[in-house]
């Protein structure tokens, strides 16, 4: 299974959005600048996240993206599914029925061991990603950060986020 860079970018963007105060938003352009990635590609990821209700967008002077629900309710699986889709990665084509020694359709009463193994692995993958929330990712990022870096992030957010008036 290959996870595209869009999933990585979306996860980083959501983790940054998770630290925003209420009423604050970041544009796709600001998110792209922060992560040094192409703006058009970041915008595409943000639109996919918006479509599935992970982020919400607002237009205008205080426009941009913010989380659509609490960070504790958004998982890595939610983000992955928004970007990659939730269709199964493995699709059994019943190759065991092919060829000169193929198994008759009537004898294929259960999935073959190969298909069953792939299905179990995918379920485990999804379950593991479903356990990791944005709160967990924020905590891990905090462990990796210094006070100076946290301060720099706070200044950058303050300089780049749109804020609703009180």
SS3 68: coil
pLDDT in tens, 67-82: 999 999 999 999 999 9
pLDDT at 164 exceeding the cut of 80:
no
Distance CA 131, CA 86 (A): 16
pLDDT in tens, 86-135: 988 888 899 999 999 899 999 988 889 999 999 999 999 999 999 999 99
Q: What is the mean pLDDT of residues 8-36?
A: 95
Our CA dihedral for 16, 152, 5, 28, rounded to 10 degrees, sits at: 60
Closest CA to 74 of 5, 12, 132, 143: 132
What is the structure's pLDDT at 155?
92
Question: How far is CA 26 from its chain centroid?
Answer: 17
Q: What is the band of 2 on the pLDDT scale with cuts at 50, 70, 90?
A: confident
Give bridge partners of residue 163 from the DSSP assignment: 24
pLDDT at 20 exceeding the cut of 90:
yes
pLDDT in tens, 32-69: 999 999 999 999 999 999 999 999 998 876 679 999 99
SS3 65: strand
- Name all domains of the chain by residue range, CATH numbers in brackets: 5-85+133-163 (1.10.10.10)
What is the structure's pLDDT at 73?
98
Give me the percent of the chain exceeding a pLDDT of 90.
72
What is the structure's pLDDT at 104?
92
Burial 92-104 (b: 16+ CB within 10 A, else e): eeeebeeeeeeee
Tell me whether strands 64-67 and 162-163 are parallel, antiparallel or unpaired.
unpaired
């Amino acid at each position: 299974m290959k996870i595209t860079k869009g999933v990585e970018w979306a996860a980083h963007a959501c983790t940054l959005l998770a630290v925003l105060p209420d009423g604050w938003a970041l544009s796709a352009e600001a998110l792209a600048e922060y992560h040094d990635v192409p703006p058009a590609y970041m915008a595409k990821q943000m639109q996919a996240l918006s479509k599935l209700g992970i982020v919400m967008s607002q237009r205008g002077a205080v426009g941009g993206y913010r989380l659509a629900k609490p960070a504790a309710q958004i998982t890595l699986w939610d983000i992955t599914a928004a970007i990659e889709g939730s269709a199964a990665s493995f699709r059994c084509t019943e190759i065991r029925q092919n060829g000169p020694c193929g198994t008759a359709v009537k004898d294929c009463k259960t999935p073959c061991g190969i298909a069953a193994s792939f299905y179990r692995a995918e379920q485990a993958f999804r379950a593991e990603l479903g356990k990791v929330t944005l709160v967990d990712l924020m905590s891990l990022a905090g462990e990796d950060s210094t006070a100076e870096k946290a301060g720099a992030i706070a200044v950058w957010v303050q300089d780049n986020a749109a804020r609703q008036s009180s």
